[in-house]
Structure 1
Amino acid sequence: MAHGTPLDDNFYKRHQFNEIPDSELGHRDEHGGIDESLPYENGRAYFHVEDLDCVQRRLGQRHAQMIAIAGTIGTGLLLGSGRALQGAGPVGALLAYAHVGTVAYATLAAVGEMTSFAPVSGTFPHFCSRFVDPALGFAVGWNYFYTNLLTVPNEITAAQIVLTYWDRDEGRQALYTGMLILATVLVNLFAVRFFGESEFVLALIKITLIIGLIMVGLVIDLGGAPDHDRRGFRFWSDPGPFREYLVEGNTGRFLGLLSVIVQASFTFQGVELVAVAAAETESPRRNIGIACRRVFWKILTLYMLSVLFIGLTVRSDNDQLMSREGNAAQSPFVIAINIAGIKGLPHVVNAGVFLSAFSAGNAFLYSASRVLYGLALRGQAPRIFTYCTRNGLPMISVITCSGAALLSFMTLKESSNTVFNWFVNLTTTGGYGAWFSINLAYIAMYKGMKAQNIDRTQLIYKSSLQPWLSYWGLFWTSIFILINGYDVFFAWDTSRFLTSYINIPLFISFYIGFKWWYRTEIWRSDEIDFVTGVPTLEETETPPRIPRNVWEKIADAIF
């Protein structure tokens, strides 16, 4: 293919290499399963020419966008931002969130462009298999799967703890946990369109709440609250723009900034969920591209403005920031509201925190089930997980993943709570590994397209800053993985060390084990398959809908 040739239907329909006869392909049986798993031969993985995917494109661009927002904006912002202020000070927290935002953007741009090229089930674990090494795809897929899976009970537990703001009766906590598990599972068991609409509504409520809290913060800062105290930037001077952590002096301020970078990188995780929904999104190349452009700036703006006004309205040495209540009492927004003498709003914030946790649990259960489904489609998980209903729901995957929600009951017993916290901590580095692999896969795709004279600028979604964005993302995600538990070296804690770093040898063992068993090889740039199994533009894209009135034009501009 000559350089500059557009990626039109003729390109996608050509099968340049790895063509195999139908007899070697997996075919669906009468129940929607796959008769034969993906073959690996001579260290190479063959990507199916025919479409074996049974999920249906029922989500719009607004659904994909809100699924990512629902998975990203949660208790980490409404509750955890107080720890960021206490850990690094108002300016330190702003710098930390801004820096992590650049890494999140690099990751989102990378996965968005790869998805624009191939909107298929399996998302970036599949891209790792296709562009780097099937063994890497296996390791990344299972790593990301259990990361999302263990996040589900964590969010359910967070939602249950939030309810203690209104009801501290321990006898009813098990009932609340059971009701939350049931609600989360039912939302995911309905058709994907219902799931998309529920996440859209919940995410919209969260965004409205946060915008409202930012406006309240502005009013408090300017002296419009009942206490009439005009704060301005007073707290940037006293107690100061930065805070010390572990040691004194500039080293302590640097370590404080580092601790918040680790925390901020965890709260930004979830932006990649926009690509997980690609196989179930209408006109995915166009709509995922739009979602990638918009979702990041919405998330970054909400995070940065929230952290800014928290630092303006609450002193970084406020003792209440150290609270671990897990409900609105811990929120820096509520602390600021109470100090300013505003009545009633804490209950509204607590309701928002509850909806945030519940919505995030839904999103991560969706993501875990779709990643498992994608792994099974390509023979990297048992083929029973490929079963789909007539409505395109991967039923077995959803039901299996739903079982993890039962881990939420572990928190009701003190003896089990420690083990549960280990599971939760294990998910932190799993998210970093996902970002690392996304940027690595993109770099491999970029080099492969360049080696094969394929004009990537013809993709529907692309970034003019690539590949440098992905090099930036690759470097910093590797740093995040290494510094995740750095504070354990100042005060040794064996369990903390293990939960912070055990995911690294676990990931490596997945990679080496699969590579040894199947004798896979790393793809050379000139042999990467950019055609087989990739749906054509004709198959995925429909003409864009033209807004019929002013309200639809406003909705299109916002969503």
Structure 2
Amino acid sequence: MEAEKNLRPDENDSLEKGVRAEKDNVGSDHIVQSNPEYHFDVHDLDRVQRRLKQRHVQMIAIAGTIGTGLFLGSGGALASAGPLGALLAYALVGTVAYASLCAVGEMSTWAPISGTFPHFAARWVDPALGFATGWNYFYTNAISTPSEITAAVILLTFWDTKASEAHIAGYTLLLCVFVSLINIFGVRYFGESEFIFAIIKLTLIIGLLIVGLVIDLGGGPEGDRIGFRFWKNPGAIARSGLEPNHIGWDRFLAILSVLVQAAFSYQGMELVVIAASETESPRRNIAKAVSRVFWRILVFYILGILMIGMLVAYNDADLLSLQSNNTAAASPFVIAITRSGIKVLPHIVNACIFTSAFSASNSFLFCSSRVLYGLALRGQAPKFLTYCTKKGLPLYSVLVSSAFSLLAFLSVSSGSNQVFNWFVRLSTTGGFTSWCVMNVSYLYFRRGMIAQGFDLTKNSYHNRFQPYVAYWGAGWTLFFILINGFEVFWNFNATGFLTAYINIPIFFVLYFGFKWVKKTSFWKPHEMDFVTGIPTPEETEEPEVPPANIWEKIGNVVF
């Protein structure tokens, strides 16, 4: 603990910030923040219960990396950047998403408590950053819920091709009700529903990869072997059209445009750590989930993008004409399958993608309600939102978050689409901001842990490539924030610029507003509190039962 002793705050600082050193049960010193305004110890208020089992957490971790962005958005990525351009973009963003998950995963296994990474930012960086991040993440997810409900409604029009406004309004109402009810019933029902949705998504993507490989190798009815034909003609990388006189620069801009699109697809991976305070044996289960996410990104996303680049040309007439469709017909997989002569499969694919969109709206509502609950626990949101039922459901936080799902009705009338799309674009930059804060918070967390003599390798999850992984994640997410909507600088319009960048001033208003009112400052390494209100492993971890037979061993590997 020599490093900590050398960094002790002076007496005046200690009195001002409420810093004191205490000894734990093995005689080592640790820092405690006794100032009640920080709300670090919320045991008396935090009433959520650990009802998510290991299989729920592991399948949620898988489901967080598969969604409509892969099944439908990949077609737009292919059309914009070509097969190699899309592959490079998705691979790069995959590393950034994984870096962000590693950062927040390490902090969450140290402190599996309500409030998650917004609280980590407040606890180890600056209370003002935690406030801004929490509200930013809340409205990002709250607005994303109706956007996914709208996507699910559009998928229903694959069968109801002449849907009237009344039909669309009815579909929207039903989905809003179902999504809200799943969350109101409690975290156990949420976990079971996400477990089922994850199995459907896994079955779909594995099936599509197998069918796609068979078609590519000439196993379709026509026996046409495609191979890498489309990588040669029309080519591996498309052009953006922004710089027609500079081919290399134009292709680079095409890849840039897909970077942002790919980042949209990966958002939501952090769901598994948002649920840390409601997970059985959170340290063991979250560590296991985070460790496996890299391979899931590699297998599902990277192989998926590689496969569609082999099956469909980026200038394919059907691919370009269907990009505004947003049903399964626009999926490159379905385009290839339809041409192979398989008739019923597109309907199955559309049904599975529908469950994916519904699952996403379900997850976004869960995330927004739990972050709102965490803000309330720390005194940064109205206190009534801390109310929990006897089964550990933060009911009022769920109801407030559910109310945002009604924004989906903005898409019923064609005249309201522009307003609704504005909300969607607002949420995207907010997601990038959250990733950036996760990595920055980890860097401060790491600095404080080392200064106070904690051994990072003793944590349940530790990435041996830190802090370089966090630097990588923070740098690229900042880059994504800055280039979001870069196309407006070639053909400027005020609406496009505003929707792409308005989240940046909103975040700074939240940050500097709270900082000015509360007079907060950045935590110094010797002032950070790593113990108050954080349950010990003995309090959270249950004994791991070894598998008794071959089926349990297989289940242990999968889950």
Report if the CA contact (8 A) 1:49-1:532 is conserved. Answer: no
**Could you tell me which residue of structure 2 aligns to residue 469 of structure 1?**
469
Superposition deviation, residue 15 in structure 1: 5.8
2: distance between equivalents of 1:208 and 1:136?
Answer: 40
- 1:220-369 equivalences in 2 (<5 Å): 220-245=215-240, 246-248=242-244, 249-322=247-320, 323=322, 324-369=324-369
Superposition deviation, residue 460 in structure 1: 0.8
**Could you tell me which residue of structure 2 aligns to residue 34 of structure 1?**
none
- 1:80-229 equivalences in 2 (<5 Å): 80-168=73-161, 169-170=163-164, 171-229=166-224
2: distance between equivalents of 1:473 and 1:101?
Answer: 10
1: distance between equivalents of 2:269 and 2:357?
Answer: 16
State the secondary structure of the residue aligned to 1:17: strand
Match for 1:64 among 57, 77, 83? 57
2: distance between equivalents of 1:94 and 1:151?
Answer: 26
State the secondary structure of the residue aligned to 2:33: coil
**Could you tell me which residue of structure 2 aligns to residue 35 of structure 1?**
none
State the secondary structure of the residue aligned to 1:325: coil
2: distance between equivalents of 1:2 and 1:201?
Answer: 51
Normalising to structure 2: TM-score of the pair?
A: 0.93
Report if the CA contact (8 A) 1:67-1:363 is conserved. Answer: no
**Could you tell me which residue of structure 1 aligns to residue 11 of structure 2?**
none
**Could you tell me which residue of structure 1 aligns to residue 33 of structure 2?**
18
- 1:529-548 equivalences in 2 (<5 Å): 529-548=529-548
Q: Write out per-residue CA displacement over residues 67-87 of structure 1, whole angstroms, 9 at most, x where no aligned residue.
A: 344344211111110011111
C-alpha spacing 1:491/1:299, structure 2 compared with 1 (3 Å): same
Superposition deviation, residue 552 in structure 1: 1.3
Report if the CA contact (8 A) 1:57-1:281 is conserved. Answer: yes
Q: Write out per-residue CA displacement over residues 110-138 of structure 1, whole angstroms, 9 at most, x where no aligned residue.
A: 01100011000010000000110000000
**Which ranges of structure 2 fall in alignment gaps of 5 or more residues?**
5-22
Superposition deviation, residue 234 in structure 1: 0.7
Superposition deviation, residue 194 in structure 1: 1.3
**Could you tell me which residue of structure 1 aligns to residue 48 of structure 2?**
55
Report if the CA contact (8 A) 1:141-1:371 is conserved. Answer: yes
Amino acid at match of 1:80: G
**Could you tell me which residue of structure 1 aligns to residue 13 of structure 2?**
none
Amino acid at match of 2:399: I
1: distance between equivalents of 2:135 and 2:368?
Answer: 10
2: distance between equivalents of 1:13 and 1:51?
Answer: 26
- 1:519-534 equivalences in 2 (<5 Å): 519-534=519-534
1: distance between equivalents of 2:369 and 2:60?
Answer: 14
Q: Write out per-residue CA displacement over residues 417-450 of structure 1, whole angstroms, 9 at most, x where no aligned residue.
A: 1101100010110000000000000000111111
Superposition deviation, residue 13 in structure 1: 10
**Could you tell me which residue of structure 2 aligns to residue 454 of structure 1?**
454
2: distance between equivalents of 1:93 and 1:275?
Answer: 28
Pairwise CA RMSD: 1.7
Q: Write out per-residue CA displacement over residues 224-279 of structure 1, whole angstroms, 9 at most, x where no aligned residue.
A: 00121000111110000000002231111101111111111111111111110000
255-264 or 59-68: bigger deviation: 59-68
Superposition deviation, residue 546 in structure 1: 1.7
Superposition deviation, residue 192 in structure 1: 0.9
58-67 or 363-372: bigger deviation: 58-67
Q: How many pairs were matched up?
A: 534
1: distance between equivalents of 2:532 and 2:29?
Answer: 8
2: distance between equivalents of 1:54 and 1:311?
Answer: 49
1: distance between equivalents of 2:60 and 2:243?
Answer: 40
1: distance between equivalents of 2:491 and 2:91?
Answer: 29
Q: Write out per-residue CA displacement over residues 327-365 of structure 1, whole angstroms, 9 at most, x where no aligned residue.
A: 111111111111222221100110011000001110110
2: distance between equivalents of 1:272 and 1:182?
Answer: 25
Whether 1:444 and 2:444 are equivalent positions in the alignment is: yes
Report if the CA contact (8 A) 1:151-1:424 is conserved. Answer: yes
Identity of aligned pairs, percent? 58
Report if the CA contact (8 A) 1:68-1:270 is conserved. Answer: no
C-alpha spacing 1:9/1:452, structure 2 compared with 1 (3 Å): closer
Superposition deviation, residue 381 in structure 1: 0.4
Amino acid at match of 2:380: Q
Amino acid at match of 2:335: I
State the secondary structure of the residue aligned to 1:16: strand
Report if the CA contact (8 A) 1:123-1:276 is conserved. Answer: yes
**Could you tell me which residue of structure 2 aligns to residue 399 of structure 1?**
399
Amino acid at match of 1:267: S
Superposition deviation, residue 191 in structure 1: 2.2
Report if the CA contact (8 A) 1:440-1:474 is conserved. Answer: yes
C-alpha spacing 1:111/1:298, structure 2 compared with 1 (3 Å): same
Superposition deviation, residue 19 in structure 1: 2.6
Report if the CA contact (8 A) 2:46-2:377 is conserved. Answer: yes
Amino acid at match of 2:341: G
Report if the CA contact (8 A) 1:18-1:46 is conserved. Answer: no
Report if the CA contact (8 A) 1:235-1:315 is conserved. Answer: yes
**Could you tell me which residue of structure 1 aligns to residue 8 of structure 2?**
none
Superposition deviation, residue 61 in structure 1: 2.5
1: distance between equivalents of 2:27 and 2:183?
Answer: 33
Amino acid at match of 1:213: L
440-449 or 265-274: bigger deviation: 265-274
2: distance between equivalents of 1:361 and 1:267?
Answer: 14
C-alpha spacing 1:46/1:554, structure 2 compared with 1 (3 Å): same
State the secondary structure of the residue aligned to 2:531: coil
Report if the CA contact (8 A) 1:82-1:330 is conserved. Answer: yes
Q: Write out per-residue CA displacement over residues 53-112 of structure 1, whole angstroms, 9 at most, x where no aligned residue.
A: 100001023212333443442111111100111111111111111111111111111011
Q: Write out per-residue CA displacement over residues 455-504 of structure 1, whole angstroms, 9 at most, x where no aligned residue.
A: 11100100000000001111100000000110111111211111110100
Superposition deviation, residue 10 in structure 1: 3.7
C-alpha spacing 1:314/1:381, structure 2 compared with 1 (3 Å): same
2: distance between equivalents of 1:135 and 1:358?
Answer: 34
Amino acid at match of 1:94: L
